[in-house]
């Protein structure tokens, strides 16, 4: 039960908790996996899922990280060559965030063109409606204007990945949930077990945009120097008394508080003095206006600098 609690902490949903319990009981070394499209920068949004991987390692999962080069290519992120370069850099970043030495990093293209993989992909394409495949990509695809067939191949490949990597648990941000649900429904129809699916909250961009993303320049990178972190946080969207879509509140809630439990907010005596807040306290004080955006931002900057300090040192 302690392990279930650690696994669930800070997630939005585990589908299903019962299956997770069973996996932990039955398997000696269950496998958890996540895939990332290689990206120019690894940022706080990625870090939220990597922290979850660390939790999963702690409770006994073997972790596989898929560097999804073909997926990035199919999603219009550039040539395979350029993407592979980014994948190498991303691997170093993920290691820098503290994943253990037995973490396995796998480049998608090393298995995604084999005959067996392709055969399974075709079988899946035969039982998946076009509408469903398209819908599953709503929050993932880059191209909205002139969608390509690549957009519907992408989710099917993600489902087949689960077979090839032999996973018991698939982790992802909430934007992956529709692909994961497709996997849970269709893998059994192909004769395979569907993995437990675990979803973390999505982080808005520092500009308040829908999603933090390296292609939109609205991110805080794990290797940004302290001055840059302070500057980006200071300029971030953080409306007073508003927590919905507020990236600064989200960083506190999804990254800092799950790790420390409480946050110390330093304030001059004349503005009320220091505050110590847990999650409920943070939300309550911010909504009431007693916690000012500026004091919150200062605290969040310093916590981010502290959390990413080892990664920055490792990457240098």
Would you tell me which residues interact with ligand IYR (CB under 6 A)?
Answer: 34-37, 66, 68, 71, 140, 158, 161, 170, 172, 176
Q: 188: which DSSP letter?
A: G
For residue 175, give the nearest of 144, 197, 199 by alpha carbon. 199
Judged by beta carbon, residue 68 or residue 133, the one nearer ligand IYR is 68
CA of 97: how far to CAs of 173, 255, 258, 274, 315, in Å? 18, 13, 16, 30, 10
Number of Cβ atoms within 10 Å of the Cβ of 244: 8
Q: How far is the CB of 68 from ligand IYR (least distance, A)?
A: 4
Judged by beta carbon, residue 30 or residue 172, the one nearer ligand IYR is 172
Backbone angles phi, psi at 303, to 5 degrees: -65, -40
Judged by beta carbon, residue 128 or residue 176, the one nearer ligand IYR is 176
For residue 83, give the nearest of 145, 36, 39 by alpha carbon. 39
Judged by beta carbon, residue 111 or residue 260, the one nearer ligand IYR is 111
Judged by beta carbon, residue 172 or residue 293, the one nearer ligand IYR is 172
Residue 20 in contact with residue 196, Cβ under 8 Å?
A: yes
Q: How far is the CB of 180 from ligand IYR (least distance, A)?
A: 8
Do the strands 275-277 and 62-67 form a parallel or antiparallel pair, or are they unpaired? Answer: unpaired
Judged by beta carbon, residue 87 or residue 263, the one nearer ligand IYR is 87
Q: How far is the CB of 170 from ligand IYR (least distance, A)?
A: 5
Q: How far is the CB of 168 from ligand IYR (least distance, A)?
A: 13
Please give the distance of CA 299 from its chain centroid, rounded to a whole number.
23
The pair of structure tokens assigned to 197 is: 């699916």
Q: How far is the CB of 276 from ligand IYR (least distance, A)?
A: 36
Neighbouring-strand partners of residue 275? 265
Judged by beta carbon, residue 156 or residue 296, the one nearer ligand IYR is 156
Residue 171 in contact with residue 34, Cβ under 8 Å?
A: yes
Q: What is d(CA 95, CA 192) in angstroms, rounded to the nearest whole number?
A: 31
Q: How far is the CB of 139 from ligand IYR (least distance, A)?
A: 8
Q: How far is the CB of 87 from ligand IYR (least distance, A)?
A: 12
Judged by beta carbon, residue 40 or residue 226, the one nearer ligand IYR is 40
Q: How far is the CB of 202 from ligand IYR (least distance, A)?
A: 11
Nearest residue (beta carbon) to ligand IYR: 35
Task: State the greatest distance between any 2 C-alpha atoms of the chain, in Å, as a whole number.
Answer: 70
Q: What is d(CA 19, CA 196) in angstroms, rounded to the nearest whole number?
A: 6
3-state secondary structure of 82: helix
Tell the residue number behind the tokens 């650690």, with chain if given. Answer: 6
């Amino acid at each position: 039960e302690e392990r279930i609690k650690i696994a669930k902490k800070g997630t939005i949903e585990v589908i299903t908790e019962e299956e997770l319990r069973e996996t932990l009981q039955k398997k000696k070394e269950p496998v958890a996996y996540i895939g990332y499209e290689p990206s120019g920068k690894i940022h706080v949004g990625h870090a939220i899922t990597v922290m979850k991987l660390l939790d999963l390692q702690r409770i006994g999962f073997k972790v596989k990280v898929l560097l999804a080069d073909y997926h990035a290519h199919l999603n219009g992120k550039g040539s395979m060559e350029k993407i592979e370069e980014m994948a190498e850099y991303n691997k170093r970043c993920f290691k820098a965030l503290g994943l253990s030495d037995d973490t396995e990093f796998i480049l998608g293209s090393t298995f995604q063109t084999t005959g067996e993989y392709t055969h399974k992909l075709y079988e899946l394409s035969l039982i998946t409606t076009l509408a469903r495949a398209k819908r599953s990509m709503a929050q993932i695809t880059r191209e909205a204007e002139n969608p390509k067939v690549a957009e519907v191949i992408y989710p099917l490949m993600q489902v087949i990945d689960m077979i090839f990597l032999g996973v018991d648990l698939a982790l992802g941000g909430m934007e992956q949930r529709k692909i994961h649900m497709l996997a849970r429904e269709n893998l059994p129809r192909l004769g395979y077990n569907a993995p437990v699916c675990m979803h973390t909250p999505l982080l808005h961009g520092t500009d308040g945009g829908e999603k933090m993303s390296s292609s939109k320049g609205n991110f805080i990178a794990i290797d940004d120097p302290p001055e840059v972190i302070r500057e980006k946080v200071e300029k971030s969207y953080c409306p007073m008394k508003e927590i919905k879509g507020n990236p600064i509140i989200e960083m506190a809630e999804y990254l800092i508080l799950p790790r420390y439990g409480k946050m110390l907010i330093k304030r001059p005596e004349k503005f009320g003095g220091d505050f110590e807040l847990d999650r409920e306290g943070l939300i309550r004080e911010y909504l009431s206006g007693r916690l000012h955006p500026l004091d919150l931002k200062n605290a969040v900057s310093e916590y981010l600098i502290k959390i990413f300090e080892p990664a920055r040192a490792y990457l240098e």
